[in-house]
Chain A
């Protein structure tokens, strides 16, 4: 119990640290006033200009010291009020923007991870049970190809092949379509994310499976008369899952980076494109909100991984 309390404390500390760093960096490296008003932020000559500047300062509390502004922001953030966008006349509020964009990226990520796992596990079992055979070598080359290929290149190739050449998948994502067709429009982008991820998972899982297959208890299982297939599924797979699960969690972070590119290529207005646009505008309430969401997601994933460890291995549960 106290273990999970510790984990919770660490998670909160991490979120605080990330938010402080991001908040501080964005305020110190740029001039929020300029980001809000654009060129007229320098208009101190006229009375009208000075009034506009003062109004903006009041609205965004820019005269307050940085820590005070951080506390204000944090207080709003925990209640679900992520602040006002700097650009686009402050509309829509950041929380509305996130509410619109987050589900798309989340769907993309979940879909991609599900595809990657369903592909990686049978693939790894197949190649580990035939380690170093010709077919295993082909699979190794294939997986390295997917890992080495930059995601934008893979995205463009897949888009050309499956959308333009063979016309299997739709060209664009349409936010107005019903849920089923929107999901269908996500399949190809998710695949672009899933293939390299699956390759990484497969490499790890294959190596761990090969190690596990050398274990004495695998020989015990064989000497009991368990079939090769059941030795793989019932005896070898579970003890081999640990590094796979660890990488699965860490890779979720990397996939968010990948989603950014995939969303651009497939024109899906998700969090990835939102953060790119926001960074270009130095619209830091948006950047901050997205950074926080990604961090929180990462923390949750890692706690989940710990939970899964203890489900898989009774020895972890005991300690």
Chain B
């Protein structure tokens, strides 16, 4: 069997992952880039969390700084606890024992994330030999089983093939097999389906979810595609400008995306403008400069996460839907017939 249980001796009640005010800054010539700027959440074993946000919102950096995979130009502050242990600031030498063994990552582009000059088998057995001290034969058998687990046809033959001989979807399955090899407790999936065919996307997500249930593993799914997180995560965290701006059970957040029942040819609402400059973030709410509903207060004071009616749902906004200020502005916008994708109206 492949599911070698390396489960950490997590005290019942201790979350697998705890983040407290995690900040990741990059020193650049332009100044300090606040890629992740104060993120707090907890994740229990077996749970899955979707991190969504537009490009440049810091979601990929967040997942990499939790894992400690960022280049040395990144400076981290705050607390990251993995199974109760503080892991932020550990050297890569110390982190190496967690990488692949306790936490692993599936990357965005399966075409580039496998070594093109190394046979599939060798790439899967590498962490097995490294962390579980398997010999060649055991490692190969395990690799074969892993390939079958991720449902790769003709698994035996694949072991001796090179990545270029496999399709994109199969390569992502191989990536997942590699990530699962040593039975990690936490899996990061960084836009695992962006580079894939729509039909393959669902299969890959189902596969990750199925493995999560089988292995009682936690998953952090990073994506800009709300559809991806919809059916596959328990919680959703929305990031904007390096900050967590909303955190909610998946069910309650999903009401805010377009649906099939909407009349056809209705124009999709887009957000004008670009993500904030993370070197000189705007004063007040990061989103205010692009927000159609921004009020004077939004440009001055930064909102903090406040619980909604359902306390599991928190958000950072001064005037969310339902407040009088929001409704008033909404009525104004309706009147002027403003199209949200008309950038000139904002600037």
Residues of A within 8 A of B (CB): 215-217, 219-228, 234-235, 238-239, 312-315, 318
Q: Flag if B115 contacts A223 (CB, 8 Å).
A: no
Q: Decide: A235 and B115 in contact? CB cutoff 8 A.
A: yes
Question: Are B113 and A217 interface neighbours, CB within 8 A?
Answer: yes
In the complex formed, the residue of B with least CB distance to A220 is B113
In this assembly, does B213 line the interface, its C-beta being within 8 Å of a C-beta of chain A?
A: no
Residues of B within 8 A of A228 (CB): 92
Cα of A228 to Cα of B130 in the assembled complex, Å: 13
How many angstroms from the CA of A217 to the CA of B92 in the assembled complex?
Answer: 17
- Given A220-B105, A223-B179, list of 9 further CB < 8 A pairs? A216-B108, A217-B114, A221-B126, A224-B104, A225-B96, A225-B127, A227-B93, A239-B116, A315-B162
A sample of 23 cross-chain residue pairs with beta-carbon separation below 8 angstroms, ordered by A number, consists of A216-B108, A217-B115, A219-B69, A219-B107, A220-B105, A220-B114, A221-B115, A222-B92, A222-B99, A224-B126, A224-B181, A225-B96, A225-B127, A226-B100, A226-B127, A228-B92, A239-B115, A239-B116, A239-B117, A313-B116, A314-B117, A315-B116, A318-B165
CA distance A313 to B119 in the complex (A): 11
Check: B118 CB closer than 8 A to any chain A CB: yes
Contact: A235 with B118, CB < 8 Å?
A: yes
Which residues of B, 121-165, contact A by the 8 Å Cβ criterion? 126-127, 130-131, 162, 164-165
From A223, A226, A235, contact of B69 by CB (8 A)? A223
How many angstroms from the CA of A81 to the CA of B97 in the assembled complex? 67
* A221 CA / B109 CA spacing, docked (Å): 14
B221 within 8 A of A: no
Which chain B positions have C-beta within 8 A of A224? 99-100, 104, 126-127, 130, 178, 181
Q: In the complex, what residues of B have CB within 8 A of residue A312's CB?
A: 117
Q: B189: shortest Cβ distance to chain A, in Å?
A: 12
Q: Could you say which of B67, B118, B164 contacts A223, with CB atoms under 8 Å apart?
A: B67
Q: Main SS of the interface on chain B?
A: loop
Neighbouring A residues of B113 by C-beta, 8 Å: 216-217, 219-220
Check A225–B131 contact: CB distance below 8 A. yes
Question: Chain A residues with Cβ under 8 A from B118's Cβ?
Answer: 234-235
B112 within 8 A of A: yes
Let me know if B239 is at the binding interface, CB within 8 A: no
> Which residues of chain B have a CB within 8 Å of any CB of chain A?
67, 69, 92-93, 96-101, 104-105, 107-109, 112-118, 126-127, 130-131, 162, 164-165, 175, 178-179, 181
Q: How far is the CA of A164 from the CA of B181 in the complex (A)?
A: 62
Q: Could you tell me if B178 and A220 are in contact, using CB atoms closer than 8 angstroms?
A: yes
Which residue of the partner chain B has the closest CB to A237?
B117
**A219 CA to B115 CA in the complex, in Å?**
10
Closest residue on chain A to residue B107 by CB atoms: A216
Q: Is the CB of B164 within 8 A of A315?
A: yes
Q: Which residues of B contact A223 (CB under 8 A)?
A: 67, 69, 99-100, 104-105, 179
Bound CA–CA A315/B114 (angstroms): 14
Q: What is the minimal beta-carbon distance from B133 to any residue of chain A, in angstroms?
A: 13
| Bound Cα distance from A226 to B115, whole angstroms | 13
Overall SS of chain A's interface: helix
A219 CA / B130 CA spacing, docked (Å): 16
The CA-CA distance from A235 to B116 in the complex, in Å, is 10
Q: Are A226 and B164 in contact (CB under 8 A)?
A: no
In the docked arrangement, what's the CA distance between A222 and B92, Å? 9
> How many angstroms between the C-alpha atoms of A223 and B95 in the bound complex?
10
Docked complex Cα distance between A239 and B112 (Å): 13
User: Contact: A313 with B99, CB < 8 Å?
Assistant: no
In the complex, how many angstroms separate the beta carbon of A211 from the nearest chain B beta carbon?
Answer: 13
Q: How far is the CA of A87 from the CA of B109 in the complex (A)?
A: 68
CA–CA, A225 and B114, complex, Å? 15
Cβ of A104 to closest chain B Cβ, rounded Å: 38
- Least Cβ–Cβ distance between B132 and chain A, in angstroms: 11
Contact B130 A220 (CB under 8 A): no
Given contacts A224-B99, A225-B99, A225-B131, contact A217 B126 (CB under 8 A): no
Contact residues in A for B105 (Cβ distance below 8 Å): 220, 223
B14 to chain A, nearest CB (A): 23
In the complex, what's the smallest C-beta–C-beta distance from B39 to chain A, in angstroms?
A: 20
| Chain B residues whose CB sits within 8 angstroms of the CB of A238 once the complex forms | 117
Q: Are B101 and A225 in contact (CB under 8 A)?
A: yes
Identify the interface centre among B97, B98, B109, B162: most chain A CB within 10 Å of its CB.
B162
Residues in B with CB closer than 8 Å to A235 are 115, 118
A303 CA / B4 CA spacing, docked (Å): 49
Decide if A215 touches B112 in the complex (CB within 8 Å): yes
Residue of A nearest to B112 (CB): A216
> CA A219 – CA B96 in complex, angstroms?
12
Nearest residue in A to B113 (C-beta to C-beta)? A216
Q: Once bound together, how far apart are the Cα atoms of A34 and B316, in whole Å?
A: 97
Complex-state Cα separation, A180 to B97, whole angstroms: 50
Question: Which A residues lie within 8 Å of B165 (CB)?
Answer: 318
**Complex contact A225–B130 (CB within 8 A):** yes
> Which residues does chain A contribute within 8 Å of B181, judged by CB atoms?
224
The distance in angstroms between the C-alpha atoms of A45 and B342, with both chains bound, is 102
Q: Which residues does chain B contribute within 8 Å of A219, judged by CB atoms?
A: 69, 107, 113
Given A219-B69, A223-B69, A226-B126, are A314 and B164 also a contact pair (CB < 8 Å)?
yes
Are B164 and A220 closer than 8 Å at their CB atoms?
no
Write the nearest CB–CB distance from B241 to chain A, whole angstroms: 24
**Chain B: which residue is nearest A313 at the CB level?**
B117
Residues in chain B near residue A314, CB distance under 8 A:
116-117, 162, 164
Look across to chain B and name the residue whose beta carbon is closest to the beta carbon of A241.
Answer: B117
Q: How far is the CB of A136 from chain B (nearest CB, A)?
A: 14
Given contact pairs A217-B112, A227-B96, A222 touches B117 in the complex (Cβ within 8 A): no
Using CB atoms, name the residue of chain B closest to A214. B71
Residues A220 and B131 in contact, CB atoms below 8 Å apart: no
Chain B residues, CB < 8 A from A315: 116, 162, 164
Q: Shortest beta-carbon distance, B47 to chain A, in Å?
A: 21
Of A216, A226, A234, which is within 8 A of B109 by CB? Answer: A216
